[in-house]
Copies of this chain bind each other. A is one copy, B any other.
Amino acid sequence: MLLSKSCVYGLRATLLLASNQNGNYTSIKELSEKLDISFHFLTKILQQLTAVDLMESLKGPKGGVRLSKSGEEITLLDIVIAIDGEDLLTECALGLPGCGIEKPCPLHDMWASTRDEIREMLESTSLTQMANKGKKMNLRITADGKFTWE
């Protein structure tokens, strides 16, 4: 799997938040129900995003989470790195520690350029772009497809 499940869940949730940005907090309960993700599990994942200030949270009634800046300023890469770390973008295809230009493995050159394309793709795409696309074309972000962008 390219992205961990946690990361995928984080992306789905932040896409939803980006589609809906009005300054209000959205409760994690609501997110978890709309996205069909376990509430407690999603809570833990989103805590990682608030920990790196990609999101803000507020406890209590009317509380919840929201993006800490415009979804246009948050890229898919920001979310991926916050949850899965840099591994995907730095790791050797043969799993060798310290694989790089100085001490490469046979696959290094090829793999490094593929990795860069992945990075470029994630880095050049904002949450808002994807959320707008999903909204406009009514695309799925859940398995059952019951989710609607409203």
Contact = CB atoms under 8 A, between A and B. Distances in A.
B3 A104 contact: no
Contacts of A103: 140, 145
Contacts of A131: 106
Interface in A84-110: 87-88, 91, 93-97, 99, 103-108, 110
Interface string A11-39: 11001000000000000000000000000
A88 B15 CA distance: 23
A42 to B, nearest CB: 14
A95 B130 contact: no
Interface stretch (A43-51, A56-64, A67-75, A114-122): A114-122
A94 B134 contact: no
B106 A133 contact: yes
A148 interface: no
A65 interface: no
Given A107-B125, A114-B121, 6 more contacts: A1-B95, A5-B95, A11-B93, A94-B141, A104-B140, A117-B117
| CB-CB nearest 4 A-B residue pairs | A106-B134, A106-B130, A8-B95, A106-B133
Interface of A: 1-3, 5, 8, 11-12, 15, 76, 87-88, 91, 93-97, 99, 103-108, 110-111, 114, 117-118, 121, 125, 130-131, 133-134, 137, 139-143, 145
